[in-house]
Structure 1
Amino acid sequence: MNEKLVSVVLITRHGARTPLHLVDGIFQIDFKSDLLDPFVDSDILVKSLDNQRDLSNVLSYKDQKYLNRKLKGGAHVGQLTCVGEEQMFNLGSRLKEKYIKEMNFFNEKYDPSEIYVRSTHLRRTINSAKSVLAGLYQKRPSLKLKTPFLINVNDLETDYLYPNLQECPLIQEKRELIKQSFDFYNENENNLNEYSNFVNNIKNKFNFRVNDCLNPLFVYEFLDEIHSRMAHNLSIPKDVEILLDQANRFASIELGLEMMENLDLNCGKFINLLKLLFKEIVFKDKNNILDYYKLNFFSAHDNTLIALLIVLNQINEENYIHPPYGSDLVIELWKKFERKHYIYFVKLYFNGKGISVKDEWEFNKKNLCKINMNSRIKTTNDVQEEDTEFKMDFSNFIRILSKHSIDENFYKAMCLKSQKES
């Protein structure tokens, strides 16, 4: 075959973590402090994007808040656990098997000039990135390298690997408008009543305040502790367990609608970054400028992956799978020699399985009530063998990204306009 792999982009959701949101009305269990014992022993060097600051020992404002909150049992909120580190190490091992052992694409020795790693400035995503790199390059989780893994971060206040409500309050404003309008239920009054009844049932059963229920992602956040318990094999009350199917469905509707309606503001800048990155790599490769990275790795969050999967037509009203802890999206850039020149194309994999991308995507809110969330928390150990490989012409891939990519100026103009009007 005359096909050649050019570069790989990896986007991940962090591994299993302790909860961010607790349900006060259910029996509290111990999230013991030893959950935070490391599974991986690795040194890391955390640098600012401009490479001017060493942030290895600097906490973001969110992590400062998280580390001031202890759960019953001693663990802090929102932290990657040993279970999460193991998930990400296993992901790295899977990537090693393919790209080092089978394809001989990456060097078997860690080389920061070959791979670029960027994370949000949060301990759970930074440590997830560390664990993936350990799976790629360490012989064992406990056998660290002499060289630290380099991880780049942006200031959390201005980052765009996730929906940044602090930098752009318009995102939150639009969330609230979406919830208030219930446009996605207007076609069927029974659906509206079903959702309202479920929210009221949870509110009364678990003693939520009225203001809590006004949260546009109320059911989604209600499930946060439940999913964390499930990931760590901790007990779930029976009165919660019987609500799981419904809760997963309505959480999917809340998050799915919000991400679809707010897609450009939520992740448009990151989509634009990916578009420009791929175009730059192709330009350099065509001109034999080989200083691009073989791997660009972004360690991010569930809503980052959801946005990309929506753009790639993998999430719609009838096919909604919430990315479990440790999920990954791989985009491979390939070239093939044909008729005296190279043509470029991409192959895509979600959690190790090949996915086919349709050229056109149209969101139909009338059918949104049909979507459902896969409530089982998967790990990378659950991944089956890769499906048939799917190819997509590079120009079509860029065209799809362009539909939802926004540049810095447009993003700032939208967010500033909202602040001025308020």
Structure 2
Amino acid sequence: MPELSATPQGTFPDSSFDADAAAATANGSTADVRRNNRRLLFLVEVNRHGARSVLGEYENMENPGHSWPGGKGWLTAVGQRQHYEVGRIIREIYIKQLHFLSESYKPEEVYVRATEKPRTLMSAQSQMYGIFPNGHGSKLSAVNGRRALLVGVENLNGKIDIDALEEELAKDDTCALPGCVPSFPVFSAPRHHDPMLRAHTLDCAYVDGLMEMARESPEYKHYTDFYAKEIQDGAKLYPRILPDGRPISPFRTLAGIGSNIKCEETDGRTPMLSGHKHLTNVAKYLSEMRMSLVYGHPAFANFAGQYFFSSMADLFEAKAHPDNDKLQDLAYHRLKVTPGMTSAADFWGTLKFMMFAAHDTTLSYFLRYLEGFSHAPPFASTLFLELWEDPRQPSGHFVKFIYNWKPLKLNWCDYHVECGLDRVIQYWREKAKMDPVEKRCPDEFPVIYPQERPMV
């Protein structure tokens, strides 16, 4: 019998979290940075949203979607706190210790991108509040404060105290929002037109074929056969409800139950299959295995992760060589034509940090693309890509990959924590040639290079 793993879901740092240790593990100590003349140039984060409400609806379930605030698939209070804590760690490492980002939010430094789902948009906002907490928002001067009065406010006929409002806004350093709460834009793209973070949902027959291939793989069939009894038992206890009448396999039914159980346990609710310990363990295990077998399938991951990492190759190369006009033009063009990234092009020259709030599916095929996949990403998982300048490196730069606060040692980089930028870009671009997305789904991916990538 395959070993059942119990991946912790949705834990967030408690009072025992050692930010100094995290910084040393993830980045090397600040003293080491100074001693070796290293300099962090660019930071990219891809995360999974925090804890959410259930997605799948089943007959007889204890906690149906309507019993959760917001309904199905919404970020819970636990999920908000998870990403807030992630943001606090980022603030400790990249603002207080490495002095990489400014103390207060600057749109020319930070670009936040999410999928179209409320849970990723809310996760991004929650994390940003951890990075830039209350007290770091915009302030008004005495001059522009008066201009903040609404046009036509005099027509409210005494419903508000206009004199008191004018007196408050006449003061210097008045917070634009109460408590100087910062506000942040989070950019997105439609689900079926998001090659950056949702390539698996594109309206392309080739994508459907890859997913079907993964579901018909010998490995998928092995788990279906091995747990046939448990799969049938789960389907009997909780028949799956599909409003549109689409058929669903018993394997996916039990895997979906396992996903729901993780949501319920994280939220402190009585979970599905309560009292069925073995079936609960199998359901949670199959939930993870389905993520690995389908979204972590090598062929699927190579396709679905290709556009993102091809984009990163262009962006990292441009950040490493800021005086190369051709590289800057290529990076600008890449951002300008990519759905959800157009506004990033306007700040490209000064951007330091890009955050991408996504899903376990996204992180699964990104990690497989890097050959660093081990198990389904828990709630609020993070993958950081750091670009460093280092005169000791042959190329003058290296990249670190950090997953859930531990550096990834990847086999294609000889298991080094610090991977030379030239090797990283070579790896990303060689993988892109194996199954070019623009040839498989020409209508779904932006045209970056009309013919071949220009030599620079």
Q: TM-score, normalised by structure 2?
A: 0.66
SS of match in other structure, 1:235: coil
Q: Could you tell me which of 439, 442, 445 is aligned with 1:410?
A: 439
DSSP-derived class of the 1:323 partner: coil
2:428 corresponds to which residue?
Answer: 401
Contact between 1:22 and 1:224, CA under 8 Å: does it hold in 2?
A: no
Say yes or no: does 1:194 pair with 2:232.
no
Alignment: residue pair count = 341
Give yes or no for contact 2:386–2:399 (8 Å, CA) kept in 1. yes
Q: Compute the displacement of 1:148 (Å).
A: 2.3
Over 3 Å counting, the alpha-carbon distance change for 1:407 and 1:298 in structure 2 is farther
- 2:342 aligned residue: none
Query: Can you give the 5+ residue segments of structure 1 that lack an aligned partner in the other structure?
Result: 31-69, 362-387, 417-422
2:357 pairs with 1:321: no
- Which moved further from structure 2: 16-25 or 205-214? 205-214
Kindly state the Cα deviation for residue 216 of structure 1 after the two structures are TM-superposed.
7.0
Task: Name the counterpart of 1:266.
Answer: 304
Residue 256, structure 1, aligned to residue 292, structure 2: yes
The 8 Å contact of residues 191 and 201 in structure 2, kept in 1 or not, is answered as no
Distance 1:185 1:85 in 2: 34
1:399 alignment partner AA: Q
Distance 1:216 1:402 in 2: 36
Q: Does the CA-based 8 Å contact 2:390-2:396 persist in structure 1?
A: yes
Relative to structure 1, is the Cα distance of residues 389 and 357 closer, same or farther in structure 2, using a 3 angstrom cutoff? closer
Output one character per residue of 1:65-121: Cα deviation in whole Å (capped at 9) or x when no partner.
Answer: xxxxx5136641111122111111100000000011111110001100011111112
Deviation at residue 212 of structure 1 after TM alignment: 4.9
Counterpart position of 2:63: 29
Q: Is the 8 A contact 2:48 2:379 kept in 1?
A: yes
CA distance in 1, matches of 2:202, 2:423: 34
1:20-419 alignment, distance < 5 Å? 20-26=55-61, 28-29=62-63, 71-72=66-67, 75-139=70-134, 145=180, 147-160=182-195, 161-179=197-215, 181-184=216-219, 193-208=225-240, 212-214=247-249, 217-236=252-271, 237-259=273-295, 260=297, 261-284=299-322, 291-315=349-373, 320-338=374-392, 343-359=396-412, 390-405=417-432, 409-413=438-442
Question: Does 140-149 or 160-169 show the bigger shift?
Answer: 140-149
Instruction: Provide the secondary structure at the position in 1 that maps to 2:391.
Output: strand
Moved more, 261-270 or 8-17: 261-270
Tell me the C-alpha RMSD between the 2 structures. Answer: 3.3
Supply the distance in 2 between the matched residues of 1:82 and 1:73 (Cα, whole angstroms): 11
Residue type of the alignment partner of 1:159: D
Aligned with 1:12 (options 47, 56, 60):
47
The residue identity in structure 2 corresponding to 1:7 is F
CA distance in structure 2 between the partners assigned to 1:407 and 1:96 by the alignment: 38
Change (3 A) 1:224 1:23: farther
Instruction: Note the C-alpha offset of 1:407.
Output: 5.9
Matches of 2:42 and 2:200, distance apart in 1:
29
Indicate the residue corresponding to 1:42 in structure 2.
none
**Counterpart residue type for residue 84 of structure 1:** G
CA distance in 2, matches of 1:174, 1:73: 34
What TM-score do the two structures reach when normalised by structure 1? Answer: 0.71
- Tell me: CA distance 1:285–1:211, structure 2 relative to 1, closer, same or farther (3 Å): same
Query: CA separation of 1:336/1:99 partners in 2, compared to 1, >3 Å: closer, same or farther?
Result: same
Amino acid at match of 1:278: F
Give the whole-Å Cα distance in 2 for the aligned partners of 1:215 and 1:411.
31
CA contact (8 A) 2:231 2:251 kept: no
Q: Partner amino acid for 1:309?
A: L
Quote the offset at 1:145 in angstroms: 4.0
Corresponding residue number in structure 1 for 2:167: none
Relative to structure 1, the CA distance from residue 164 to residue 312 in structure 2 (aligned partners, 3 Å threshold; closer, same or farther) is: closer
CA contact (8 A) 1:335 1:342 kept: no
2:143 aligns with none
* Deviation readout 1:132-180 (Å, 9 max, x if unpaired): 111001148997645521222122230120244352243334323433x
Which is greater in Rg?
Answer: 2
Letter in structure 2 aligned against 1:238: S
Separation of aligned partners in 2, 1:241 and 1:278: 48
Amino acid at match of 2:364: I
